[in-house]
């Protein structure tokens, strides 16, 4: 039996919603809340097979995401939803248990939950499904009737941003909906207020950068792998064009997609305690979605090996905190202490990517780095003299490759001077200085952060800067 992907499909689908024309540059006109609602309704009303994702995504999720749940005795996110709603039902002593789900779409998950509870013999409950799309809600009502749980599903057509609680809820679900909400503070405060003391709040959501963009440190890794791809692997299936370099598109420019994704986790931590928390993925996302994922097939060895390598890099960088996860599945409470035990995994606080600073211990990529070394390298000063102190073992060929990565620099010499290493670089003869700013920038890749300290950086005889980069 394959891994149940409905929950993750829903989130990744929304993050790469197709557009009819190539994206235009952002306009100066203000996009109002009403404009975003119209865009959201238009997209999801006309969306068929909305949770279909490429074969490579199914292969990857079965291989790498499913084991994260199986280690906790679960087969999928949906199985986790069932477990915690069932526990909340049993713990609640009211005659009728009221559950709430925000941003339900066609209520597929809610109908599944209702069927699970009924099959377990739990029948005194209602699940209120809130969504602003009446067409999808009507589909949900029809599906509930077909599966014999029509009496347990109640739909409310409303904007989740304006939702306020009207009763105490046994359990609340936000399945790939929080990243569509602007009024996160108001909604989460309402959930905290209305959740029963024995209740559970469950979410599966995307918590990366707003608009589902990559943060600079993750984007640099995406681009690193992207440059390895043959042109047939960079074909954009939604916009029908090749993208030689991955475009860091902001999905929140029109609708609510990822409107405040980066604020979700900090606000969850503020309002709730955690019983369950699985974070995962970042860099791998663009290679699996409906835009570029169809270019890959798990049946081709090169493709499978490439996805394995991207995933391994993703996991390694997540574990050491150099990038932060873009997806979470979590169960929370609001009165008692949470029961979540990290067991060596990523904690909720560790998983936050604060917008005003790079992950701890790592330099930002070039465009946002305050730790880049900048010098005026004119025709009279073609050479760079860099002295570093290694703090950990690192292969010299990797060091050389990274140091030449930006600026069209070629290696002149490398030699040891006691504990230091002195590297002399020269601007390639075919390289021409930037006509607007005659600066050459030497930037150090994030994967080498913590392996050395700068001793000096000079062109010719003139010192540009001496900058230690590790504590």
Low-confidence ranges of the chain (pLDDT < 70): 1-51, 343-344, 360-411, 417-420, 425-471
Domains and CATH numbers, the chain: 6-22+29-333 (3.40.50.150), 366-465 (3.30.70)
Cα dihedral 253, 254, 255, 257 sign: negative
Q: What is the SS3 assignment for 370?
A: coil
Residue pLDDT, tens place only, 405-414: 444 556 677 7
Among 436, 460, 446, residue whose Cα is nearest residue 406: 446
Residue 98: is it exposed, middle or buried by C-beta count within 10 angstroms (0-12/13-18/19+)?
buried
**pLDDT the model gives residue 252:** 85
Q: What is the SS3 assignment for 471?
A: coil
Q: Per-residue b/e over 233-255, b at no fewer than 16 CB within 10 Å?
A: bbbebbbeeebeebebbebbbbb
Residue pLDDT, tens place only, 210-233: 999 999 999 999 999 999 999 999
**pLDDT the model gives residue 458:** 54
Instruction: Measure the CA–CA gap between 288 and 314, rounded to whole angstroms.
Output: 13
The secondary element (H helix, E strand) that includes residue 162 is none
**pLDDT the model gives residue 416:** 73
The pTM of the whole model exceeds 0.85: no
């Amino acid at each position: 039996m394959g891994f149940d992907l409905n929950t993750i499909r829903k989130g990744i689908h929304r993050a790469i919603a197709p557009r009819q024309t190539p994206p235009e540059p952002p306009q100066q006109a203000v996009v109002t809340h009403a404009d975003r609602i119209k865009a959201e309704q238009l997209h999801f009303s006309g969306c068929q097979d909305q949770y279909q994702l490429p074969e490579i995504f199914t292969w990857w999720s079965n291989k790498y995401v499913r084991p994260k749940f199986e280690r906790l005795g679960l087969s999928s996110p949906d199985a986790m939803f069932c477990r915690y709603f069932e526990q909340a039902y049993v713990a609640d002593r009211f005659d009728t248990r009221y559950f709430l789900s925000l941003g339900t779409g066609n209520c597929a998950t809610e109908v599944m939950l209702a069927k699970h509870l009924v099959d377990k013999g739990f029948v005194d409950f209602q699940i209120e499904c809130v969504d602003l799309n009446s067409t999808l809600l009507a589909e949900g009502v029809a599906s509930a009737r077909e599966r014999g749980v029509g009496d347990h599903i109640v739909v409310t057509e409303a904007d989740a941003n304006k939702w306020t609680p009207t009763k105490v809820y046994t359990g609340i679900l936000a399945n790939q909906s929080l990243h569509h909400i602007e009024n996160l503070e108001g909604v989460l405060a309402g959930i905290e207020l209305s959740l029963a003391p024995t209740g559970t709040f469950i979410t599966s959501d995307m918590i990366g950068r707003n608009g589902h963009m990559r943060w600079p440190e993750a984007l640099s890794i995406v681009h690193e792998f992207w440059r390895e791809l043959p042109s047939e692997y960079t074909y954009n299936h939604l916009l029908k064009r090749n993208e030689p370099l991955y475009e860091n598109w902001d999905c929140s420019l029109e609708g609510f997609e990822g409107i405040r994704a980066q604020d979700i986790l900090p606000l969850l931590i503020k309002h709730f305690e955690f019983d369950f928390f699985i974070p995962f993925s970042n860099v791998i996302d663009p290679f699996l979605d409906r835009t570029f994922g169809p270019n890959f097939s798990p049946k081709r060895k090169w493709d499978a090996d490439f996805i394995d390598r991207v995933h391994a890099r993703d996991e390694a960088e997540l574990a050491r905190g150099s990038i932060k996860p873009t997806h979470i599945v979590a169960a929370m409470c609001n009165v008692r202490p949470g029961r979540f035990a990290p067991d060596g995994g990523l904690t909720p606080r560790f998983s936050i990517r604060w917008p005003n600073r790079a992950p701890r211990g790592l330099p930002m990529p070039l465009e946002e780095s305050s730790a880049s070394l900048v010098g005026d390298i004119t025709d009279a000063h073609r050479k760079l003299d860099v002295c570093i102190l290694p703090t950990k073992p690192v292969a010299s060929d990797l060091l050389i490759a990274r140091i030449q990565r930006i600026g069209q620099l070629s290696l002149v010499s490398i030699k040891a001077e006691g504990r230091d290493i002195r590297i002399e670089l020269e601007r390639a003869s075919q390289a021409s200085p930037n006509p607007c700013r005659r600066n050459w920038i030497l930037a150090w890749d994030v994967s080498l952060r913590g392996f050395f300290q700068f001793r000096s950086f000079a062109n010719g005889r003139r010192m540009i800067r001496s900058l230690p980069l590790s504590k």
